[in-house]
Amino acid sequence: MQSHKKVLPHAMRKPLFSATSVILSIVFVAAFALSGGAQHTGENQKDSTQVHADSTSAEGHSAEPEKFNANETIIEHVLDAPVWHFTDHTVLPLPVIVYSKEKGLAIFSSGKFYDEHHKEIEYNGYKLVDGGKNIAIAETGEKVLNLSITKNVAMLFITAILLCYVLFSVASSYKKNPGKAPKGLQSFIEPIVIFVRDEIVKPNLGHHYEKYLPYILTLFFFILFGNLLGLLPGAANLTGNIAVTATLAIITFLMTNISGNAAYWKHIFWTPGVPLPLRVIILPVELIGVFTKPFALTIRLFVAITAGHIVLLSLICMTFMFHSYFVGIGASLVVLFINLIELLVAGIQAYVFALFTSLYIGMATADDHH
């Protein structure tokens, strides 16, 4: 990156979001607003139709269909699942990989757990438990080792593959065109890399920044890609999954404390300039602070992304709750506006996570000035 300083001003003049990207965003939001409710409500409507038909045939007269359950629709999108719903009639079964002492290793499609009406059934002696989160032996109810590819795991692979493709393509462009002005995707990624390096990493890490820059850049782009892909119609809620955010926070926690120098641990266990009686109070506070930092990283990203998805789906569900085209049009316009804000939030959350990671590592590696 150092060898291309002469072309950076030219790159920095290029806008981060072109008119094409804005138009694509509006198209994605419109598709989400129009099809998002259908893809999550089809099962509820199907169940209502079935109940209506059964009641009519059994009693000889029409019965009221079940009311649309917005809570189930929203939770279905926010939580992980063994299958990936795109629309009512488009469901992608995912691989189930389980191991038990009685049956050994078993690999099959998650579609085997559902009948033609998408009702959960047993298959090969296994059944879904805990709302599809875990798999247990049907006879005993004993949970088995579950290594299945769920919706969020599949989304994780997609995000990682796309991230590698983009960044390796940009790196390849630098090798092919050394000293030349960036073009195409390279001109979009380079200003972001420079921003993270000069505005986030350098100010917080000082002369240690080069050692940790690759990790923080990877963290930033992974969260950014995950946030943006999660806004597409039918996408999984990857960065709104607390297991994912906790894993990222734990990696930062380990890097921070493993990299911590003597001055860092001295400030925790024997804070300089503090009277001895107060150290009894400060020591547990400092120790608690070591663990609250990754906890704050976990909750901040999880809540921000999940709350945005819940708000968007709540507005879309209003169309089906009120059975009104006017409500649907109004909700779609509001969803369009909020989804554009969510594009901004996606970048802000990646920035905040990278910023606090740099700050924590910088505090742990800072030279002792006392």
Domain endpoint, select from 115, 148, 181: 148
Same domain, 249 and 126: no
**Nearest of 146, 154, 141, 147 to residue 80 by alpha carbon:** 154
Query: Using one digit for the tens of pLDDT, what is the confidence trace for 142-195?
Result: 889 999 999 999 999 999 999 999 999 999 988 888 878 888 888 899 999 999
Same domain, 169 and 227: yes
Same domain, 141 and 193: no
Same domain, 132 and 163: no
Cβ–Cβ under 8 Å, residues 170 and 189 = yes
Query: Using one digit for the tens of pLDDT, what is the confidence trace for 277-324?
Result: 888 888 899 999 999 999 999 999 999 999 998 988 888 888 888 888
Which residues form the domain of 110? 95-148
Same domain, 129 and 14: no
Place of tokens 């757990």: 113
Percentage of the chain beyond pLDDT 70 is 81
Count of domains forming the chain: 2
Domain endpoint, select from 148, 167, 185: 148
Residue 277 lies in a domain: yes
* pTM (2 d.p.): 0.78
